[in-house]
Amino acid sequence: MSDDFRQKFKVFSERMVGLAPRCSNEEATKMFLVLPFLQFLGYDIMNPDEVCPEHHADFSEKYKNRVDYAVLREGHPVIAIECKALGAPLKDDRGQLKSYFNAAHTVKMGVITDGLVYEFYADSDEPNMMDPNAFLSLDLREIAKGKIEDSVVDGLKSLQKSNFDPENIGAEAKRKLVFQNLVQQIEALAVTPSEAFVRLLLQNIGLKHVRAKAVVEYTELTRNAFAEFVNLRILQRLDLPVKDKETDKPVLVPDTSKGDADTKPGDGPVITDTELQVYEYAKRRLAFLADNDDLFDAIPGVEYKNYKGKFIVFYRKERSGRLFDFYENKGTKYTFDFGEEFGGEFGSDELGGLDEQLLKVFKARVEAMGIKKKRMKGEN
């Protein structure tokens, strides 16, 4: 049933994204994007006793509060919806929605939208006091690409007319906010495991007395184990066979006592946490972006080599398979050089925004290696 809803929502999102360029003002956004969204959730947009435009909840004649739409149940508003023109920032109207939330005591959920981006709020901490953070957010442009998490599917299904329970939405919102915080904490631990977390995992596998010096090495093993866990879950999610798993390879722990620079990726200068973070991030993004089996199966071939002042990530061969050079704190915290053919140098203080260049260069390297392989077979 969830898969059926997921597919229907994807098809609906594709249609909305296709209509979006024609919505040049707020009224068009309401008519062609917001009302169809309410209809998709099962609400009767032609019934003013169910979906009422320009609904008001006033403290007094002087202080009037209106929202663009209110979803009514037994004559009372339970959902308040504030609309913005397509592309307008949503944060500007949070205060207005909050005021309506306070004035209309029967309202249990508030929605702010520009027709493609939706933010859903509840009063999980205090009755009729809108939470500062949305318990559910979604972007139809991402949904149209098939990027829809289970939490979004489940959350949206609970907002359908047949499932929506105003009295329990606050408790449900609280669970979702806690869930979001847990996901963020787990993501942070995956990138930079704390010593306490590493020691806890080691204790669970029987290593109870680990010296501080050894914890550094086990921290990298923990980070690699996290990455492998994510990769395996993606394989299972896509129902792809598990081939050439990272667990079949020895995990490389930096060993500065070796001086041979041509032995294995990772030998040489000490690898920093940021460099390893970049490497694992690149592999995770490729696993997410890969749009065919050949690309996905090629991800275990992505490796790295560290030099003084430069960190190289490549596919199979360091020179011909070069994906990018990474420089730490070169003007910005993260600086990548993909080569002139693939966009050149890219710098940012945040780790992200690499998808286009990363996928393009990875496809080119995998294709080139595949062609060379075929040629060698032909010569034989």
Q: pTM of the full predicted structure? A: 0.52
Would you say 121 and 130 are in contact if contact means Cβ atoms under 8 Å apart? yes
Picking from 108, 150, 117, the residue whose alpha carbon sits closest to that of residue 34 is 117
pLDDT averaged over 10-residue windows placed end to end, the chain, 380 residues: 81 94 92 96 94 73 72 91 89 75 85 93 84 89 88 87 83 73 79 85 81 80 80 59 46 41 48 86 86 85 88 91 90 88 86 87 89 51
pLDDT for the residue 331 = 80
What are the tokens at 321?
């398979």
Would you say 50 and 35 are in contact if contact means Cβ atoms under 8 Å apart? no
Would you say 347 and 330 are in contact if contact means Cβ atoms under 8 Å apart? yes
User: In angstroms, rounded to a whole number, what is the distance separating the alpha carbons of residues 215 and 17?
Assistant: 49
The continuous run of DSSP H or E covering 95 comes out as helix 94-103
Rounded to 10 degrees, what is the CA torsion of 146, 151, 157, 158? -160
For the chain, the average pLDDT equals 81
pLDDT for the residue 13 = 95
pLDDT for the residue 172 = 73
Picking from 374, 285, 269, the residue whose alpha carbon sits closest to that of residue 324 is 285
pLDDT for the residue 126 = 81
Report the helix count and the strand count for the chain, using DSSP H and E. Answer: 12, 11
Question: Who contacts 50 (Cβ-Cβ below 8 Å, separation ≥6)?
Answer: 43, 44, 71, 72
User: In angstroms, rounded to a whole number, what is the distance separating the alpha carbons of residues 68 and 45?
Assistant: 13
pLDDT for the residue 90 = 81
Using the CB atoms, write b or e for 112-128: b if 16+ within 10 Å.
bbbbbbbbbbbbbeeee
User: In angstroms, rounded to a whole number, what is the distance separating the alpha carbons of residues 72 and 55?
Assistant: 10
pLDDT for the residue 254 = 44
CB atoms within 10 A of CB 75: 8
- Sign of the four-CA dihedral 349, 352, 353, 357: positive
Would you say 93 and 82 are in contact if contact means Cβ atoms under 8 Å apart? yes
pLDDT for the residue 93 = 59
What are the tokens at 8?
């229907």
Phi and psi at residue 195, to the nearest 5°:
-60, -40
The continuous run of DSSP H or E covering 283 comes out as helix 273-289
